[in-house]
Amino acid sequence: MSQNNRKKIKSKGAPLKPHSKEFIFFSKTLAHAKRVLVSTHLLPDGDGLGAETALFHYLRKAKKSCKIINPDPLPNRYRFLDPKGTFLLGPKEAEIWESFDLWVIVDTNDPRRLGKLWDQYSPRAKRIIFLDHHPDIISANGDDIKYPEHTTLVSDTTSSSIGELLYHLFDELNLVPITKDIATGLYVSVMTDTNSFRYARTTPQAHRIAGEMIENGVNPEEVYQFIYSSKEVSHLQLLGVSLQNFKVAAQGRLAWISMDLETRKKYRASADDTQSFLNLLLLLKDAEVICLFREEENNTIRVSLKSKGRVIVNRIAMDLGGGGHAYAAGVALSMSLEKAIDTVTDRVKKLLDASVRFGPRVGAQLTTQDSPR
């Protein structure tokens, strides 16, 4: 699609907000960088992986050296983004330069979510940029995370996805046209982080970007099939077990699924598998907050919290040492599964109770961003 048409589409929508000075700095740094490393968070999702794919193809096309390394391997359902397994690489799969111009870290602003990669690569990067749309972790809970001096946070909590931020970045840079490969990355990012255009932050802009990417060659049905119709028999059996056993409290306003390690192993379920079960609880009419409790190998319980949008849940995650968006947050707890369920559901019940008495905005302290992590 020509540049002319792209401008025409955008002019019909709401005017774009002016770019922040950090965003302009990112654009300039990227324009000058020759070697760029790109990474996303542990347990990578479609937003991070789609954004990485788009960046990789864009930078390669612009004749720059780009490599991707992630703290976790590529989940199978995203294999279609890199069918030959040449660039969306996990730890120890990629050989990284001794020194490089720029490390772009997408979909998080928390160095801890890079696992071992942070200590390994942060000293080797001349500049580190976090491209993110989550609330700032430092202002959120006064955490003692120290960013090295050569770090810049480029964040827009009103953005549906990292793909949306990259769309503006590519528009600003204007180095190469959007190819089908770049478009596929952007489409996957926007589609998965709006839960297929269902979340509150599904803006006209998110739809416009998706539409434009389809014009650039993306096949929506094919992408959908790859990401969502990719399950093994054992996955649906585990889903059956989970849905038989989910729990409801607070007059149906709270619902949760819990999964112990034994069950996960029996059905060979990955973390990525179980995460998708949580969204099914959103089908419940009365549920306002839904949770998933997943027992991990290292004696921790990974908790995901989601709100339909009346109450804000990231305060609960932050109080327990986690974080996230207002309506989608998470935390890892070092305790038994039963204890973790009690700890979190007690807090959610109190929150729901307070929201009845004091109104739905109780606990609101942060920006209201509702895409998932």
Residue 369 CA to residue 373 CA, distance in Å, equals 10
CB of 373 to Mn ion, least distance (A): 6
Closer Cβ to Mn ion, 81 or 96, answer by number: 81
CB of 313 to Mn ion, least distance (A): 16
CB of 253 to Mn ion, least distance (A): 26
Q: Is 181 in the site for Mn ion (CB under 5 A)?
A: no
Please list, in sequence order, all residues whose beta carbon lies within 8 angstroms of the beta carbon of residue 65, skipping any fewer than 6 positions away.
34, 35, 36, 59, 97
Closer Cβ to Mn ion, 156 or 193, answer by number: 193
Stretch near Mn ion under the rule CB under 5 A, chosen from 13-21, 187-195, 244-252, 338-346: 187-195
Residue 271 CA to residue 249 CA, distance in Å, equals 25
Please report how many Cα atoms fall inside a 13 Å half-sphere around the Cα of residue 156, on the Cβ side: 21
CB of 297 to Mn ion, least distance (A): 25
The only residue of 52, 101, 107, 273 in contact with Mn ion, by rule CB under 5 A: 107
Closer Cβ to Mn ion, 294 or 373, answer by number: 373
The only residue of 110, 193, 273, 370 in contact with Mn ion, by rule CB under 5 A: 193
Q: Among residue numbers 33 through 72, which ones bind Mn ion (CB under 5 A)?
A: 47
CB of 83 to Mn ion, least distance (A): 24
Stretch near Mn ion under the rule CB under 5 A, chosen from 29-37, 101-109, 250-258, 348-356: 101-109
CB of 64 to Mn ion, least distance (A): 24
Closer Cβ to Mn ion, 242 or 304, answer by number: 304
Helical axes 233-245 vs 271-280, angle rounded to 10°: 50
Say if strands 301-307 and 247-249 run parallel, antiparallel, or are unpaired.
Answer: unpaired
Beta-carbon neighbour count of residue 30 at 10 Å?
Answer: 24
Q: Where are the beta strands (DSSP E) in the chain?
A: 35-40, 65-68, 102-106, 128-132, 151-155, 247-249, 254-259, 289-295, 301-307, 323-324, 328-333
Report residue 36 as tokens. Answer: 């760029």
Q: How far is CA 74 from the centre of its chain?
A: 14
Please report how many Cα atoms fall inside a 13 Å half-sphere around the Cα of residue 78, on the Cβ side: 27
Per-residue binding string, Mn ion, 335-354, x by CB under 5 A, is: --------------------
Q: Is 82 in the site for Mn ion (CB under 5 A)?
A: no
Closer Cβ to Mn ion, 188 or 289, answer by number: 188
Q: Are 226 and 80 in contact (CB under 8 A)?
A: yes
Closer Cβ to Mn ion, 47 or 212, answer by number: 47
Binding residues for Mn ion, rule: CB under 5 A, are 47, 107, 193
